[in-house]
């Protein structure tokens, strides 16, 4: 028997890598992916393994570095891990129990609000009865009645708004409770979970800090806004939230979360122009007509996507993830990355891997607003209330859905397009029933060609009456601004001549309406009827054309 002793260094080479525990440090969330940052303290040189990372880890986007030492090898391995469903069920049951307690508290609060509403209703009825008795006896105290009625009515409005808002939250919480109950019922027995491990080979690493960053899919974020216009229409309070969804396979517990506007999925390289080659018809039979190069392959697109990832997007200029500032407002701070921005949330968040999204707060802002009413009488005589405002917040408003409120009333949802800081945008606030609009035809006359003429003509006159029946206004006379827009005839044929004999008042020359006027013939008038008054818009058109011709829309 021959015995052979191997050197200690050789044994180290064949030994299994040692497991190393990492701590979740930060997550930068993109529209459809996330960059996860973990840290660990290394005890000594050699091979270490970070076990149990989610299956959604992109193996081509795993980055490992040491603060001072050197990383000489990185390997990503795939395997299945056996796990009991009991651990997952226990966590879900804790969530369910907490939500059920919250729901019970909300039900108690709703009962109190309903009882308060009934009490206020009885007070209002009692006040009405007392007022009728005073009227019958000829001793009416109008000031006292008005004050009491206004106070009770205001409290009733507040009560109903609070009850309505509470009902929405209870409905949302009830849906989550039902989802948890179904998920708990579906878990049983042992589960085989696919995971990935990262093996690293480190040199000069004793006491050093290991930084592991990896890109995961099945997650992302979308903006969600609450826009609440005050009853006097002087300002709008904006709440900027983010709906975070993630099913990456790992929970992000107590993590510094940053929301990025970068789009690594688009890649880093833009397209190049393609040649367009033409030939004469007689040459096509032998040489063909070539229009551009072949479309890029799926592999090429995948390579472009991979090239778009940049781990530097996850850190600030000092190489750190967003750190918590002391005594700062509970709003996201902004870290500019040049072509994109990152919103570092003000507090650490817990985002679980689950089907339902988690909502987090980015920040709040109060924006001044200029109200105006818009109406297009040829289509609809409804006056639609809009608020012109400017994004005075430090955040870029990304395209997304907004819940719009006027005072305590929910008006519905509206779509917000991208709005940069300092850029103006329009807030849609629903119909204003206090503005009545009528569109009347005052003249409609068709004339054939005269003795010395070979052309027909058509004369039309229209009148629009805008009446202010008490719309909300900040002006002493109660006047409001109403924008009236009409598409008037626009000739696209030199044989058809359109003339405007009368147009009162003069259309607006504001720059924001100029393009519509020049390209589409859309006129815009701005009228300001005082409270209880009306304003008018009038015009007359004469269209002349050849006597044998027929006018058709294009």
Top mean-pLDDT range of 180-189, 237-246, 499-508: 237-246
Question: Over 80: is that where the pLDDT of 543 sits?
Answer: yes
In this prediction, residue 204 has a pLDDT band, given cuts at 50, 70 and 90, of very high
Give pLDDT, residue 228. Answer: 92
Residues in the chain: 554
- Residue 387 and residue 233 in contact, taking contact as beta carbons nearer than 8 Å: yes
pLDDT of residue 139: 74
The pLDDT confidence band at residue 316, using thresholds 50, 70 and 90, is very low
Q: Please give the pLDDT value at position 450.
A: 60
pLDDT above 80 for 143? no
Q: Please determine, for residue 486, whether its predicted confidence score (pLDDT) is greater than 60.
A: yes
Q: What confidence category does residue 152 fall into, taking pLDDT thresholds of 50, 70 and 90? A: confident
The encoded tokens of residue 328 equal 């700062």
Sign of CA dihedral 216, 217, 218, 224: positive
Give me the pLDDT at residue 464, please: 95
Q: Are 368 and 234 in contact (CB under 8 A)?
A: yes
- Model confidence at 137: pLDDT above 90: no
Residue 191 has pLDDT above 70, yes or no: no
How is the chain split into domains, by residue range? 86-190, 435-546
- pLDDT at position 433 is 92
pLDDT of residue 12: 43
pLDDT at 494: 84
Least confident among 396-400, 489-493, 536-540 = 489-493
pLDDT of 311 over the 80 cut:
no
Question: Distance from first CA to last CA of the chain, Å, rounded?
Answer: 101
Please state, for a pLDDT cut of 90, what percent of the chain lies above it. 38
Residue 554 pLDDT: 60
Strand extents, DSSP E, 208-279: 209-216, 219-229, 235-246, 252-260
| Mean pLDDT across 307-317 | 38
pLDDT, position 273:
80
Mean pLDDT to the nearest integer, 391-415:
88
Residues 47-73: tens digit of each pLDDT: 999 999 999 999 999 999 999 999 999
Asked if residue 258 has pLDDT above 90, the reply is yes
Whether residue 464 contacts residue 456, with contact meaning beta carbons closer than 8 Å, is answered with no
For range 213-219, the mean pLDDT: 93
**285-299, 355-369, 408-422, 455-469: least confident range:** 285-299
Bridge partners of 224, per DSSP, are 241, 401
Minimum mean pLDDT range among 59-73, 183-197, 321-335: 321-335
Average pLDDT over residues 234-255: 92
- The C-alpha angle 170, 241, 341, rounded to 5 degrees, equals 165
How would residue 130 be classed by pLDDT, with cut points 50, 70 and 90? confident
State the CB neighbour count (10 A cutoff) for residue 382: 17
229-233, 447-451, 531-535, 544-548: range with lowest mean pLDDT: 447-451
Cα(193)–Cα(200) distance, rounded to whole angstroms? 23
Out of 25-39, 182-196, 240-254, least confident range: 182-196
pLDDT given for residue 448 in this prediction: 66
pLDDT at 8: 42
pLDDT (average), residues 131-160: 80
What is the pLDDT, as a whole number, of residue 1? 33
Most confident of 149-163, 370-384, 537-551: 370-384
Mean pLDDT of 345-369: 90
Predicted pLDDT of residue 15: 67
CA–CA separation, 72 and 204 (whole Å)? 10
Q: Is the whole-model pTM more than 0.75?
A: no
> Could you tell me which of 404, 426, 402 has the C-alpha nearest to residue 512?
426
What confidence tier does 278 reach under pLDDT thresholds 50, 70, 90? low
Backbone torsions φ then ψ of 93, nearest 5 degrees: -65, -35
- Confidence band for 78, pLDDT divided at 50, 70 and 90: very high
Q: Determine the average pLDDT of the residues in 456-480.
A: 92
pLDDT at 413 over 80: yes
- Determine the 3-state secondary structure of 131 from DSSP: helix
> Tokens at residue 241, please?
């939230």
Look at 247 and 451; give whichever has higher pLDDT: 247
What pLDDT score does 38 carry? 96
Q: What is the pLDDT of residue 279?
A: 56
Lowest-confidence range among 104-118, 294-308, 317-331? 294-308
Given a cut of 90, whether residue 326 has pLDDT beyond it is no
Residues 6+ positions from 268 with CB-CB distance below 8 Å: 304, 307, 308, 310
> What pLDDT, on a 0 to 100 scale, did the predictor assign at position 451?
55
């Amino acid at each position: 028997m021959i015995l052979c002793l191997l050197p200690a260094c050789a044994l180290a080479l064949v030994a299994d890598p040692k497991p190393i525990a990492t701590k979740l440090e930060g997550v930068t969330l993109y529209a459809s992916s996330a960059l996860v940052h973990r840290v660990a303290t290394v005890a000594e040189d050699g091979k270490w393994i970070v076990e149990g990372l989610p299956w959604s880890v992109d193996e081509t986007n795993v980055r490992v570095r040491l603060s001072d030492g050197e990383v000489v090898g990185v390997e990503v391995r795939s395997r299945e891990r056996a796990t009991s469903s009991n651990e997952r069920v226990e966590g879900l049951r804790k969530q369910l129990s907490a939500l059920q307690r919250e729901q019970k508290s909300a039900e108690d609060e709703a009962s109190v609000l309903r009882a308060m509403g009934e009490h206020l209703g009885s007070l209002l009825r009692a006040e009405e009865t007392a007022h009728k008795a005073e009227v019958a006896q000829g001793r009416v105290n109008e000031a006292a009645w008005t004050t009491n009625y206004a106070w009770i009515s205001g409290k009733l409005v507040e009560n109903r708004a609070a009850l309505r808002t509470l009902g929405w939250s209870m409905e949302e919480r009830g849906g989550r409770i039902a989802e948890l109950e179904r998920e708990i019922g579906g878990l049983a027995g042992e589960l085989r979970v696919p995971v990935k491990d990262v093996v690293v080979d480190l040199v000069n690493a004793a006491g050093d800090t290991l930084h592991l960053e990896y890109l995961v899919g099945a997650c992302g974020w979308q903006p969600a806004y609450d826009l609440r216009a005050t009853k006097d229409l002087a300002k709008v309070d904006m709440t900027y939230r983010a709906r975070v969804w993630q099913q990456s396979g790992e929970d992000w517990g107590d993590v510094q979360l940053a929301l990025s506007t970068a789009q690594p999925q688009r890649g880093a390289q833009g397209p190049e122009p393609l040649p367009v080659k033409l030939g004469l018809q007689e040459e096509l039979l032998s040489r063909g007509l070539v229009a551009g190069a072949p479309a890029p392959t799926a592999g090429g697109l995948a390579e472009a996507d991979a090239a778009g990832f940049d781990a530097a997007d996850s850190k600030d200029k000092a190489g750190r993830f967003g750190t918590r500032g002391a005594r700062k407002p509970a709003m996201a701070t902004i870290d500019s990355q040049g072509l994109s921005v990152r919103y570092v949330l003000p507090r650490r968040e817990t985002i679980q891997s689950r089907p339902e999204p988690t909502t987090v707060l980015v920040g709040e802002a109060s924006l001044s607003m200029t109200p105006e009413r818009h109406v297009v009488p040829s289509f609809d005589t409804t006056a639609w209330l809009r608020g012109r405002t400017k994004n005075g917040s430090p955040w870029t408003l990304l395209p997304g859905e907004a819940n719009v409120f006027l005072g305590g009333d929910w008006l519905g949802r509206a779509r917000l397009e991208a709005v940069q800081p300092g850029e103006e945008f329009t807030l849609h606030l629903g119909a204003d029933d206090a503005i009545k609009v009528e569109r009347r035809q005052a003249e409609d006359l068709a004339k054939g060609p005269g003795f010395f003429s070979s052309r027909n003509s058509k004369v039309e006159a229209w009148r629009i009456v805008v009446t202010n029946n008490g719309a909300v206004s900040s002006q002493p006379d109660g006047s409001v601004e109403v924008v009236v827009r009409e598409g008037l005839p626009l000739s696209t044929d030199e044989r058809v001549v359109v003339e405007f004999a009368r147009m009162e008042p003069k259309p607006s020359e504001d720059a924001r309406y100029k393009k519509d006027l020049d390209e589409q013939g859309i006129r815009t008038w701005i009228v300001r009827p005082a409270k209880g008054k009306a304003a008018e818009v009038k015009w007359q058109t004469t269209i002349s054309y050849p006597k044998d011709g027929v006018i058709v829309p294009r």
